[in-house]
């Protein structure tokens, strides 16, 4: 029975209870049409249930299955019949699947060709043989969906979704999901620099699963010795912390040197000897020393995916981007009226996580010249700086309207060459060609030489740069280049560098913002965390 049929049944039952007179008339006409057969069936039970107690058990199972799981314990207090019906596995299985997306069958040990005991190996660490952890996994055959819902899914429902770890300027992206019979916290890592279009890498930081019939266990997954004891505490709303109780499991036989080599291989996909740039070596060593001190004892703050509106230039969401010697970083692209904003989820010692790395003015499109002039950095700088000066004048005019009102009357401000002359708010929908040739100017550094050679449109924007330790932050002009629905770029004029961004395509559940107001409040909080 599908949800529409169940909802219809609930409406019918409710009507029979609230409108007994109308129900009687319906029954009379029905009996007349069906003959003696209808009369015989009517005499077998109550023709018009006066309460839920009079409904057959199978119908009550369907009704209770459609209620939120959190409401069922109170329902069990109503009477003995309800309490007995609420022991039905079908009800709790449906709550587990509909509320949390659980897809495992607890009654079957073999699931899609693998046993429950192999779930750790297949989903958490494919490099480890299953036999090593068999004795650590419980026998799920003796558990039921009510136990899983009551002691695992419902108690930990508040930590499902996206989170940003408090790791100083580096930040990060944690996705907590129901994965089979586990709740797993996956740390999302960008691809190895500079392969920005490769898929994200995932590393498990913790997992929660049923250990006994009425108890869930938290395990730390950090390190290279397999799962070990951990703990999760809810600090306050939209914030929780993890703690490892056996940090010796994080240590390696070869000491810090071996730990660094392993970390470097995972983080960068190469050895330190392969990295010839001295400044880059310093940044890598600094990150290892800083991040390894936490030992997976971290605080996480909830983040949301940006709301999507039909007027948006492209679908907002998460992107991977190149950031010079700092490697690849994760940013969140969102739209706010005539502005597009890119906020860092991961950061570096110069511009930390949580800061607004890019701000794009969608009311200021830039018309690119032909390919030959695009190769000229001076030509591109002239176009963008012309728009930048105009934007600064408009900003000053808004700050001091009384001083500029007299001079503005009767004057026509010239539109800088290369800038589309459009009405405010209409730039994103301007009649620009679908695609146009694109090439980076000579002298602009790009980590990834393989970038699109056509683009859809360009806009003036600013990028945030700062000294080490986020000193002297400054917004500097640049060019936002939209390549397609999943890729965009930014040319930093002052740095003479190019960042390429590619969409993160992973499916992320429990991550939608409740409202635009809550999302914007989250962005403001993110900036305050690292300011």
Is the Cβ–Cβ distance between 442 and 471 less than 8 Å?
no
Cα-based torsion angle of the residue sequence 120, 224, 188, 474 in order, rounded to the nearest 10 degrees: 170
Angle at alpha carbon of residue 277, lines to 274 and 278, rounded to 5°? 110
pLDDT higher at 483 or 282: 483
Local confidence band at 268 (pLDDT 50, 70, 90 cut-offs)? confident
Q: In this predicted structure, what is the pLDDT of residue 141?
A: 56
185 in any annotated domain: yes
- The arithmetic mean of pLDDT across residues 481-487, rounded, is 96
- Cα distance between residue 381 and residue 220, in whole Å: 51
pLDDT of residue 112: 42
**Total-model pTM:** 0.79
Quick one: pLDDT at residue 312? Answer: 93
Q: Is the pLDDT of residue 11 over 80?
A: no
Q: How confident is the model at residue 252 (pLDDT cuts 50, 70, 90)?
A: confident
Please list, in sequence order, all residues whose beta carbon lies within 8 angstroms of the beta carbon of residue 152, skipping any fewer than 6 positions away.
183, 208, 209, 210, 216
Q: What is the dihedral angle through the alpha carbons of 508, 509, 514, 518, rounded to the nearest 10 degrees?
A: -40
Task: Please check whether residue 222 lies inside any domain of the structure.
Answer: yes
Residue that wins the pLDDT comparison between 36 and 99: 99
Together in a domain, 223 and 334: no
Neighbours of 303 (CB within 10 A): 25
**Averaged over 257-266, what is the pLDDT?**
86
In a domain, 143, yes or no: yes
More confident residue, 144 or 241: 241
Span 140-159, pLDDT tens digits: 556 788 888 888 999 999 99
Mean of all residue pLDDT scores within the chain: 79
In the chain, % of residues over pLDDT 90: 43
pLDDT number for residue 304: 95
* Residues 180, 241 within the same domain: yes
Residue 224 shares a structural domain with residue 325: no
> H helices of 156-272, where?
255-268
What are the Cα distances from residue 219, in Å, to 206, 226, 227, 246, 296? 6, 10, 6, 10, 11
Q: What share of the chain is helix, strand, coil (3-state, %, to 5)?
A: 35, 25, 35
The whole-number average pLDDT for the span 203-218 is: 85
DSSP 53: G
Q: Name the region of 171 (left: φ>0; alpha: ψ -120 to 50; beta: rest).
A: left
H/E run at residue 273: none
68 and 157 co-located in one domain: no
- 343 shares its domain with 475: yes
Tens of pLDDT, residues 45-82: 556 767 777 788 888 888 888 888 888 888 888 888 88
Please tell me the predicted confidence (pLDDT) of residue 116.
44
Distance from the first to the final alpha carbon of the chain: 54
384 or 30, higher pLDDT:
384
Q: What pLDDT shows up at residue 282?
A: 87
Read out DSSP for 474-497? EEEEEEEEEEETTEEEEEETTTTE
Chain centroid, CA 84 distance in Å: 40
CB 131 within 8 A of CB 142: no
CA distance 157 to 346: 25
Predicted confidence at residue 63, as pLDDT, reads 87
Lowest mean pLDDT among 195-204, 243-252, 424-433, 521-530: 424-433
* pLDDT band, very low/low/confident/very high, at 209 (cuts 50, 70, 90): confident
Same structural domain, 328 and 206: no
- Does residue 236 fall inside a structural domain? yes
pLDDT at position 98 over 50: yes
User: What number is the average pLDDT over the span 83-108?
Assistant: 82
Q: Among positive and negative, which fits the CA dihedral 261, 265, 271, 275?
A: negative
Cα 187 to Cα 266: distance, rounded to the nearest angstrom: 13
Rounded CA-CA distance 320/346 in Å is 10
* pLDDT of res. 12: 31
75 with 142, same domain?
no
In 3D space, the residue among 359, 369, 375, 279 whose CA is nearest the CA of residue 327 turns out to be: 279
Which pLDDT band holds residue 111 (cuts at 50, 70, 90)?
very low
Nearest to 358 by CA among 191, 205, 492: 492
Residues 6+ apart with CB under 8 A from 237: none
**What number is the average pLDDT over the span 388-407?**
73
Q: Is the domain of 373 the same as that of 445?
A: yes
Distance CA 275, CA 62 (A): 62
The domain boundary, picked from 215, 237, 252, lies at 252
Q: Is the dihedral of CA 145, 149, 150, 151 positive or negative?
A: positive
Q: Confidence band (pLDDT; 50, 70, 90) for 163? A: very high
Whether 247 maps to a domain, the answer reads yes
Q: Helix, strand, or coil here: 233?
A: strand
Residues 357 and 452 in one domain: yes
Number of domains in the chain: 3
368 and 443 in a single domain? The answer is: yes
Residue where a domain stops, chosen among 203, 225, 252: 252
Domain boundary among 232, 252, 272: 252
Confidence of residue 433 (pLDDT cuts 50, 70, 90): low
Residue 316 sits in a domain whose CATH number is: 2.40.128
Domain with 68, as residue range(s), is 52-87
294-301 average pLDDT score: 92
The residue-averaged pLDDT of 400-429 equals 45
Asked if the structure places residue 174 within a domain, the reply is: yes
Which stretch of DSSP H or E encloses residue 202? strand 201-212
Buried b (16+ CB within 10 A) or exposed e, 64-100: bbbeebeebeebeeeeeebeebbebeebbbbbbeebb
360 lies in the same domain as 232: no
Regarding whether 464 and 382 lie in a shared domain, the answer is: yes
Average pLDDT score over residue span 362-373: 92
Give CA separation, 117 vs 114, 121, 298, 313, 478, in Å: 8, 8, 29, 47, 53
* pLDDT reading at 33 higher than 80: no
CB 505 within 8 A of CB 305: no
The reply to whether 32 falls in a domain is no
Q: How confident is the model at residue 384 (pLDDT cuts 50, 70, 90)?
A: very high
**Is pLDDT of 161 > 90?**
yes
CB 244 within 8 A of CB 250: yes
Res. 4: pLDDT tops 60: no
Answer whether residue 362 is part of any domain: yes
Among 56, 62, 60, 59, CA closest to 2: 62
Nearest CA among 110, 200, 101 for reference residue 153: 101
Say how many C-beta atoms besides its own lie within 10 A of residue 192's C-beta. 17
């Amino acid at each position: 029975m599908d949800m529409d049929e169940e909802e219809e049944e609930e409406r019918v039952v409710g009507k029979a209870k609230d409108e007994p007179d109308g129900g009687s008339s319906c029954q009379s006409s029905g009996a007349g049409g069906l003959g003696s057969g209808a009369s015989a069936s009517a005499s077998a039970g109550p023709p018009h249930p006066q309460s839920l107690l009079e409904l057959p058990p199978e119908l009550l199972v369907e009704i209770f299955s459609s209620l939120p799981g959190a409401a069922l314990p109170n329902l069990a207090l109503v009477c003995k019949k309800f309490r007995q019906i609420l022991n039905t596995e079908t009800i709790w299985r449906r709550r587990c699947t509909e509320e949390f997306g659980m897809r495992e069958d607890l009654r079957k040990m073999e699931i899609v060709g693998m046993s429950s005991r192999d779930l750790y190996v297949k989903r958490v660490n494919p490099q480890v043989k299953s036999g090593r952890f068999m004795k650590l996994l419980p026998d799920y055959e003796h558990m039921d969906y009510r136990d899983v819902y009551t002691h695992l899914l419902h108690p930990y429902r508040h930590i499902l979704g996206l989170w940003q770890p408090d790791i100083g300027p580096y930040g990060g992206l944690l996705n907590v999901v129901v994965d089979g019979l586990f709740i797993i916290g996956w740390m999302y890592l960008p691809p190895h620099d500079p392969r920005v279009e490769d898929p994200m890498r995932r590393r498990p930081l913790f997992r929660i699963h049923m250990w006994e019939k009425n108890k869930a266990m938290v395990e730390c997954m950090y390190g290279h010795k397999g799962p070990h004891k951990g703990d999760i505490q809810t600090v306050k709303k939209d914030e929780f912390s993890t703690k490892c109780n056996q940090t010796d499991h994080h240590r390696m036989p070869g000491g810090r040197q071996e730990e660094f080599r392993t970390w470097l291989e995972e983080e960068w996909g190469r050895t330190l000897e392969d990295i010839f740039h001295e400044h880059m070596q310093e940044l890598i060593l600094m990150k290892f020393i800083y991040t390894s001190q936490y030992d997976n004892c971290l605080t996480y703050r909830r983040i949301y995916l940006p709301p999507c509106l039909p007027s948006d230039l492209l679908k907002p969401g998460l992107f991977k981007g190149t950031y010079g010697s700092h490697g690849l970083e994760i940013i969140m692209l969102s739209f706010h009226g005539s502005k597009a904003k890119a906020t860092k989820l991961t950061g570096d010692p110069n511009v930390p996580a949580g800061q607004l790395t890019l701000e794009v003015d969608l009311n200021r499109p830039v018309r690119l010249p032909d390919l030959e002039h695009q190769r000229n950095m001076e030509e591109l700088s002239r176009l963008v700086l012309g728009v930048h000066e105009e934007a600064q004048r408009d900003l000053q005019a808004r700050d001091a309207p009384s001083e500029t009102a007299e001079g503005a009357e009767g004057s026509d401000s010239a539109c800088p060459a290369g800038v589309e002359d459009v009405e405010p708010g209409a730039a994103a929908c301007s009649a620009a060609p679908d695609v146009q040739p694109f090439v980076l100017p000579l002298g602009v550094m790009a980590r990834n030489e393989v970038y699109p050679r056509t683009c859809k449109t360009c806009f003036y924007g600013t990028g945030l740069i700062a000294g080490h330790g986020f000193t002297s932050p400054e917004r500097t002009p640049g060019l936002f280049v939209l390549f397609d629905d999943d890729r965009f770029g930014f040319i930093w004029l002052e740095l003479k560098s190019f960042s390429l961004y590619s969409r993160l395509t992973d499916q992320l559940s429990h991550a939608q913002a409740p409202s635009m107001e809550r999302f914007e409040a989250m962005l403001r909080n993110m900036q305050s965390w690292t300011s």
